[in-house]
Structure 1
Amino acid sequence: MAEKAGGAGEAMAARHPLPEKMLLSVEYPGYVGDADKAVLTLGGSRRLGRSAVAGSGAPVELRYRYNDLSSHPINGQTVPTQNLLIKVTRRVKRTQGPDGAVRRECVHSDARVVAVLDRTVRFRRLADFQYIASDNDMVARLSRLGRTLDVDEIKRLGASDPFEVAVDAATGYLPAPFLDHRGWPAQYQSVGGEAAHSEAEAEARRRRELARQGFNVACIKYQDTEVPTAPTPAASKDGESIPAELLQRAQRILDECPVVSRSVMETLLPPGECGGRKASAIMPMLAYLMYNGPWRNCWIRLGYDPRTDPGSCKYQVLDIRYATGNPSSLSASRAHQSRRYSGGSGQAHGDSARDRTHVYDAEAAHSRATGIFQFMHVEVQPLRDLIDYSNGRRQTPCEYSGWLQPSVMRTMRTKLKTLKRMSGSARQEDSQQTLAVDYGELDRLIAADREAEEAELASEQMLSARDGFAASGGQQLLPQAVRERVEARVDQSMRALRMQDGDGTSDESGGEFGIFDDDDDDDDDDGGDDDDE
């Protein structure tokens, strides 16, 4: 029964208990004309129950040709869901008009929940390709004979040696499809979204991540306005057992370079020289981490905010990943990196290979090195020129590109993709020509970015000024510079809109929008805030 809300007099929605029936949902990758045959393609109801309902974790195999063992299986995954199966009933009244046409009118509709779909089988792999084995394929023949149980033919097949027969390379002779569970005929870069987990699973996963982190480091997001100025209480308690000379050594590194990547710090403070302690156990006393933004995965000195220092652009990170790694390549985020800081270990490693694993140069690009590199360690010349391009700097940083304009960062990533596709010989001979930057086009993109940045700054200043205006009770005028800036933006936007409508005329003032109208019905008349412009 619907209930009435007290005082408001509005009817609340009817509440019904959820049914106890639990059903399994299958997101079938195809049109289902016969439900029984669709279940057979999934291995039958009994096998489907063992794979999906029992929670064994085994994949659910879908074979479009369920009578053919050579049918390539499409593997599905059973994930927990919280969906509802709703049955909708519509009652339609049919009437025949004077002209003989039948009119249908819905006179009643009803919807009710009939079951809860607590598990769903999803197929996230390609379903538009199949293998068809040749009639002469030994495995295919053996599978057919296994179904017919022709003993004599099986003996004759076993007496012959298939390896003595000359195999035509043009036929391919791929592995038996029922032994190949790969769902992709080629490499694809797209990655499907993860299944939703319950709150308990999400909390357990968060605890596991914190356990792997192992130390009580102060962490913030890029959007946070304040930066930590002191270690967390738990880190301070853990730091009581750290020798003072180790803390002084780490402090000297941060005094020279306030933002250091975690991999470089692990090399500057090796466990062998720190009494078995890792840098991740020492640094929470002196630095904090950012989850996201241009300085993620870097130790940042306590009290230092790179978002307020334009010089911190050189400390930003460039994440380089390859879809297929080279086993012989060096990983900048894992390799023992070393750099001679004056406050570091004081050991010079010469020109050894390990001394430059944190540097992204032509050799690192050639060896397909992956990891997180800081801008100051990038030595590939086209990328270095983009980082040092003075026209590509912002007035204020942003989360995507930091102190660089977004168009500059996008250009860098485009050049990185080109560098990844280039062969080893091309990197040596044609890299400079291929990676050349069209600075004329880049300047045009930078101008658009700068215009958007100025508009954003003007909006922020206007909102800040209006907040001050409201806080002062109407006793403070908006700054003239802010008014002029926003009025110019309004005029520009109106001109663009009128040009799109085919009218070249535009207003000379944005005052008609009432953006800075000082007369407010809610304010008293004794404020004296009239503007005579």
Structure 2
Amino acid sequence: MGIIKDGSVSGILPTNKVFVVHYPAYTSSMERAVETLGGIQGIVKARTSQSNKLELYFRPEDPYSHPAFGELKHSNNFLLKISKTKVRDVDSSCGISRQSSISPVNWEQENSHSLTAQKVNESRCLMTTTNFQEHLSANIVSHVAEAYHFNGMVDYQHVLAVHADVARRKKRQWADVEPKFEKGGLMDVDQEDLMILLPHLFSLKDMPVNIVLKCCASLSSKKKQDELDWQNWEREMEMERNLGIDFNIKEVPKPVDWEKIILQGSDDWRWQKVVYELFEERQIWAKESLPERLRDGGLEVGESKLKKLLVRVAYYFLNGPFRRFWIKKGYDPRKDPESRVYQNIDFRVHNPKLRSYCESQLSSGLKHRWDDICAFRVFPYKCQMSLQLCELKDDYIQQEIRKPSNQETCDSTTGWFSSHILDCLRLCIAVRFMSVCPHPDADSLLKSFSARFEKAKRICNYVKVARPEEQEKVNKEAENNEVDEQAENYEIDELDDSEDDEDEFEDDD
């Protein structure tokens, strides 16, 4: 017997195990509950079957009653038998029996006096308040290892509300009807029996599910045409999604009227509207900047879904100064000198120790916000990355990119800038990143980049006022000096557009 104290039970845990049925109704008796579960034989059959389903028939006398199914689940409970006893607390002064030493001669006399005293004492005790004390005890009967739960809904029932007794008498047991199917099929079954043949289950599911109904086959010609246009448009978008554009292409993709294709008011339409407004705000976006901007605006979409939204309103070049940047459809940055602020510029880590540091940090799962990288608040963990000039928060960079361009055409390598300006910008970026790099070797690299940056600025200022033949001489000297300095500090990496983030624009579908 267990002891209950302060709301807890202490006792010996039993070794025998039982299972529990969470009966989903109020029963009139235990015998009726067992009968609705198929009796003892039905319960034993359910315990030995592989389906682990216990059938509950609320009308077991009706052979066409459809069951509710109980699912067997593991449990880790104990079955307690709690007992409550009441103990009367009687005052000792009201005791009836007393012990006395009397002689046998005066026994009758003393006995008569004793009986009289007991009656008087009992009457007094009845007049006093009797106190009861309740004692709780618990017996841990067994360990409940499994339990049947009826969480689903009961199947549809075929019930005759009128003349139910007569209909019940007309219904025949399946054991009487089944042999006729084995001998001659439905031809030997009476018409009355065919009328009462019901499926074993009306519904194959007992839990609510969302069902998407197919469209009616007889669609109007306009709806069919709209559906065909939608499929063709999606096919074209899918092709553009997997196909980048060469920088030397003659014409860029034209804008499409996506508002006529996507259902207005849907989630897809709302998401597409947000992406479209971003390109109305700015014609060219870096691929890392777009997801972060959408998340800050409260729109969280997957990478694959974002690509579908982007190809409807934007395109990208495989090479050139706007490489891998999303560009608004219909806008050609090669014809607009103002697009120079949207050009990309590479930052690469060549030092072997710094590369090892970046790879270790990247493998650990650490990731910086794109805004912090563009503001030079953190050192990037990628050894090679493309930055957008307009997003870099540096006074010198913003001042240089907003100066009028001296280039008449957009070059496929340097864009709207000269090679000297781009060298200055790259060195400025290297100086800013090395100033926040936590690696011990960053200090020496910072000094080297700072000296080269100051020298590059002097060359840029001289080239602006020099004659053409002097500019050519300065260009050759600058190239030779740059090669010598790179050979001293790190190995030279040739720029390969085909390997630059080649896996970041692959389709995930």
Q: If the TM-score is normalised by the length of the shorter chain, which range does it land in? A: 0.3 to 0.5
**Greater length-normalized contact order (CA 8 Å, ≥ 6 residues apart):** 2
Output the TM-score relative to the length of structure 2: 0.35
Output the TM-score relative to the length of structure 1: 0.34
* Structure with bigger gyration radius: 2
